[in-house]
Amino acid sequence: MKFDAIIVGAGQAGPPLAGRLSEAGMSVALVERKLVGGTCVNTGCMPTKAMVASAYAAHLAHRAADYGVTLAGHVGIDMKAVKARKDKVSNDARGNLETWIGGMANCTLYRGHARFESAHDIRVCDELLSADRIFLNVGGRASVPDLPGVGDIDYLTNSSMMDLDQLPRHLVIAGGSYISLEFAQMFRRFGSEVTVIEKGTRLIAREDEDVSAAIKDILENEGVRVELDAADISFERRGSDVAVGFRAGEAPVVGSHVLLALGRKPNTDDLDLEKAGVRTDKRGYIEVDDQLRSSVPHIWAMGDCNGRGAFTHTSYNDFEIVAANLLDNDPRRVSDRIQAYALYIDPPLGRAGMTEADVRRSGRRALVGQRPMTRVGRAIEKGETQGFMKILVDAESNEILGCSVLGPGGDEAIHSVLDLMYAKAPVKTLQRAVHIHPNVAELLPTIAGELKPMA
């Protein structure tokens, strides 16, 4: 079968690109070996945030008396109902996506595992597909390191966690980064005992130390046990439980369930990329240029498999970059993108641009402004005063270099700063903005007027 384009993977970049190419009159083969929607729709953003919402409801119910609300009886958790709600959110989104793809005039959806046979040919089951342009959007999966005893236990990953409909008695999480912390707080709020084991000296090491420390405090205040400097992680069966060692000479943590959250790896190891001449780096990520072309000029890589971003929004932006260059005569580039993301614990962390550590490495002179949520009226009114806001500014150009908002609505408030960063507006633009009261974001202009040299 000859097509104008083959897209492998129906995650966040594949279907919208299929739509654009189809609208442009091209014939498109879209290949998906598992579930349309990729990680985000099926095992990532949508289902986990649906569960975060259930956990938040449970948390508020337990705190009802703090707001003068009286609840009769015990606050219980029905994990089967939590899972059913989560499944509906995912299933509805996937169904809508399948309907959209099915309505594309020039697009054929193939179900199966794609493997290259040459630079232009891909086999899917018994079908041989050929195209002048090929786009890879194959995503990634949980990495399972070869730790002592890991092969002897039943463990969970971020994907298999989605299948739980019973509450773990004690969930032990190996790894102290973004995915693990969302699950840690979520299941603690559902009622599980939770222990997080992290080999590093602090949680989410890519963040500044004050952010890491504040997040550790938030989790520990809710009863999550955090063990850092875990240099000797190992696993051992103990009946129906698992003993997780973390430091030599100390007693292991014995849990009913173990979640491995120790990083991600790209789904590039079973595509036969070598038959197409597509190069990957030592971690398996497809090497791409600033416009997402691989080492083979007619093959592009988008999303988690290219190592240039690990988020739904960066994957979708990859689609936008490819479509702009191919169809709109608009030379958009990956290097135009400002790093931005959120951590969906409660309160959430919104992050944009550089950290203090990034700024120091760059050698720039910078200014910093900061305010704790205990001095933000909206946070006080909501009874949610954990966290803080911080803005980093170039001392010479007055451009905003980065921002962290850890607090109520931090994942939303960050965008008022992010948009200014894209506009390359001076910090005075933020300082003179009149934000709505009462709101968490209304303090961002105040912080912008209280900058001091970064130590």
Q: Which residues are catalytic?
A: 437
State the Cα angle at 433 between 430 and 434, rounded to 5°. Answer: 145
- Residue 204 and residue 267: Cα distance in Å, rounded? 24
**Torsion angle of the four alpha carbons 278, 282, 286, 288, in this order, in degrees rounded to the nearest 10:** -100
Q: Which residues of 37-61 are buried (b: 16+ CB within 10 A; e: fewer)?
A: bbbbbbbbbbbbbbbbbbbeebbbe
- Residue 50 and residue 68: Cα distance in Å, rounded? 27
DSSP letters of 393-421?
EETTT-BEEEEEEESTTHHHHHHHHHHHH
First to last CA, the chain: 62
Which amino acid belongs to residue 101?
A: I
Cβ pair 429, 373 in contact under 8 A: no
Cβ pair 30, 135 in contact under 8 A: no
C-alpha distance from residue 224 to each of 32, 62, 174 (Å): 38, 16, 13
DSSP state of 49: H
Q: Which residues of 302-312 are buried (b: 16+ CB within 10 A; e: fewer)?
A: bbbbbbbbebb
Sequence-separated (6 or more) residues with CB below 8 Å from residue 76: none
Beta-carbon neighbour count of residue 348 at 10 Å?
Answer: 21
Residue 239 CA, distance from chain mean position = 34
DSSP state of 182: H
| Phi, psi (deg, nearest 5) at residue 32 | -140, 125
